[in-house]
Amino acid sequence: MMKSVSERFLTYIKQPTTSDENSSSVPSTKQQLLFGDFLVKECQAIGLADASMDRHGYVMATLPATDPNAPTIGFIAHMDTSPDTKGNGIMPHIVHHYDGETIRLNGISLSPDEFPELNNYIGDTLITTDGTTLLGADDKAGIAEILSATEYLITHPEIPHGKIRIAFTPDEEIGAGADHFDVKKFGADFAYTLDGGKIGELEYENFNAAQAVIHIKGRSVHPGTAKNIMQNAALIGTEIASLLPEKEIPSKTEGYEGFFHLCSFEGNVSEATLTYIIRDFNSETFAHRKNLIQLIVERKNIQYPNAITLELKDQYYNMASKIADCMEIVDLAKQAMEACGITPIVQPIRGGTDGARLSFMGLPCPNLFAGGHNFHGPYEYIPVSSMEKAVEMIVKIAELSCGVDFQKKL
């Protein structure tokens, strides 16, 4: 008997898979390997072919084609959860027939006043946290949806589809999800990540991204005799921060607006370090942002000779430039959603996905909704109906792909 997508999801979130950005191992935590082993067995149990996990923790499996002339499609989700919030000991709270009122959890509340999208799910079953951990819908919902959809196709051989490849990746939350992804081995013509938010989301544009780490060397002397001698590294850091546009920060931007985000500031009189991430959709303004931070450091080094160093590195790029030549895969996703009664919400990703990097590695890969809200924290929740619609959408994409004449242009 087939498991429901919610049963799968509730099983998966019990397995802790927090990634660790300070780890040097691949994957970054052993927990992800344990979950990967579990998923290999899940794939085998539902009848997927050649299910395996490689030494880097990437799980792959195949659903053979019923229509050999159809393109090979990939569906991808990530196994790890964000290190931003506790991800072990998850105790989900299930709200049947949500009535539109505030949901009270341990120490916090999910209120429609603060989270108005809750009003869209009155009457639905919601899965929330207990208020002390994240939930893990990012992205164990995507995993549950992909496996439920492939199991449905196995049990309904009358539905035509090409070869389907699935992959579950480690360490997406720390930006390493595509580091060791073997695109050639995966062998898909194109793919979709199931890593989006609310129902209907369809994304093929994302930020260009860079990281800037500014190191400041100060000169510490006794404050009583410091005149014209002391160079306070922490104060120099505040001077640098004040020179960046005050309205171009995450809390004051939206849509296609880029930003500078001060992630951390650690320091004292002797030394200080500022870590920024730089984000922009447009390649020209992205370059301008990087140039600005370089110029600020150069000018401050004139004022404080050789006190400041800058480490600036690109992280990922906007996949729109790669998807532009194969928009039929975006149209396919739109058609599948509409056929399932879902209104597509085409919008840019104010972040990045494995799909962005994979698109630059030769695998065009837009992002689709998984159904969750408020990722990475204790306010996270997911409507069961959204997961069920995601399963329906995956099945329909597989079916409709039989009519797609895909010519890979990357």
Give 179-238 pLDDT, tens digit per residue: 999 999 999 999 999 999 999 999 999 999 999 999 999 999 999 999 999 999 999 999
DSSP category for residue 81: B
Mean pLDDT of 343-353: 91
Give the separation between CA 244 and CA 253, rounded to whole angstroms: 14
Which of 42, 138, 172, 380 does the annotation list as catalytic? Answer: 172
Give the separation between CA 56 and CA 79, rounded to whole angstroms: 13
Cβ(18)–Cβ(88) under 8 Å?
A: yes
pLDDT at residue 19, rounded to an integer: 97
Q: C-alpha distances in angstroms, 86 versus 36, 124, 312?
A: 20, 27, 30
Give the separation between CA 64 and CA 249, rounded to whole angstroms: 47
- CA 23-92-200 angle, 5° bins: 85
Banded pLDDT at 404 (limits 50, 70, 90): confident
For the chain, percent of residues with pLDDT exceeding 90: 95
pLDDT at residue 410, rounded to an integer: 42
Identify whether 113 is a catalytic site residue. Answer: no
Banded pLDDT at 175 (limits 50, 70, 90): confident
Give the separation between CA 92 and CA 9, rounded to whole angstroms: 10
Sign of CA dihedral 301, 303, 307, 312: negative
Which of 80, 145, 354, 380 does the annotation list as catalytic? Answer: 80
Q: What are 81's two structure tokens? A: 């959860």
Residue 257 burial class via C-beta count within 10 angstroms: exposed 0-12, middle 13-18, buried 19 and up: middle
Identify whether 172 is a catalytic site residue. Answer: yes
pLDDT per position as a tens digit, 21-65: 899 999 999 999 999 999 999 999 999 989 999 999 999 999 999
- Res. 409: pLDDT tops 80: no
Which residues have CB under 8 Å from 375's CB, separation 6+? 82, 134, 137, 138, 197
- Res. 130: pLDDT tops 90: yes
For the chain, percent of residues with pLDDT exceeding 70: 98
- Res. 1: pLDDT tops 80: no
pTM of the entire predicted model:
0.90
Higher local confidence (pLDDT), 409 or 325: 325
- CA 273-271-219 angle, 5° bins: 145
- Res. 406: pLDDT tops 70: no
- Res. 408: pLDDT tops 70: no
